[in-house]
Structure formats: structure tokens, C-alpha cells
Amino acid sequence: MKKRTLIENTFILSVAGLIAKIISEFFKVPLGNLTGTIGLNYYQSAFAIYSLLTAASLIGIPNSVSKLIAEEVAKNKYKKHILFFELPL
């Protein structure tokens, strides 16, 4: 398996993000027709908060687990860092 470069990975993520945006537009049109402008405004307000909280949780949890594991490995406590692997699961 060939190792990809940073440029290739960035391009793949950009295309995937663009496809996700296009798909979300197909969802908003019927939703706007069903609920009207007020319903669509409620959706956009709630989705902004939901996106922010989802991004914060997805960034914070893996970083904190990685930090805890790295600290235990640096202290040569290999049995304890296995607990950090099993605890989130």
C-alpha cells in the first residue's frame, strides 16, 4: 500500500467536505418546504450549536486520552496505559 502525501490527503478531505455540503443542501430544501422559514431558522440555530459541541467533543477526547497514555508510557507503567485503551470502549 502506497503512503499518501499531505497534499493528497488534504485534497481527499476537501472533496469529501464538498460532497457533504452538497448532500446537506438537498436535505435543507425539502425541510424548508415542509416547515417554512421559521422551522428552517430553528433547524439552523440548533444545528450550529450541535456542530460546535460535536467538534469540541471529537477534538478533546482523543487528545486527552493520547496525553494520558503518553504520560503513563513515559513513566514505564505499561499495564496502566492498557486501562486507558479499554476505558473509553
d(CA 34, CA 82): 50
Which one has a higher pLDDT value, 19 or 54? 19
Instruction: Note the pLDDT of residue 29.
Output: 81
Burial class, 43, CB count within 10 angstroms (exposed 0-12 / middle 13-18 / buried 19+): middle
Q: pTM here?
A: 0.46
Q: Return the C-alpha cell found at 18.
A: 464538498
Q: Write phi, then psi, for 75 (nearest 5 degrees).
A: -85, 5
Q: Return the C-alpha cell found at 54.
A: 460535536
Q: What is the pLDDT of residues 61-89, one digit of tens each?
A: 777 777 777 777 777 766 666 665 665 55
DSSP code for 35: H
Q: What is the pLDDT of residues 35-63, one digit of tens each?
A: 888 988 898 899 889 888 888 777 777 77
Look at 3-12, 15-24, 35-44 and tell me which has the smallest mean pLDDT. 3-12
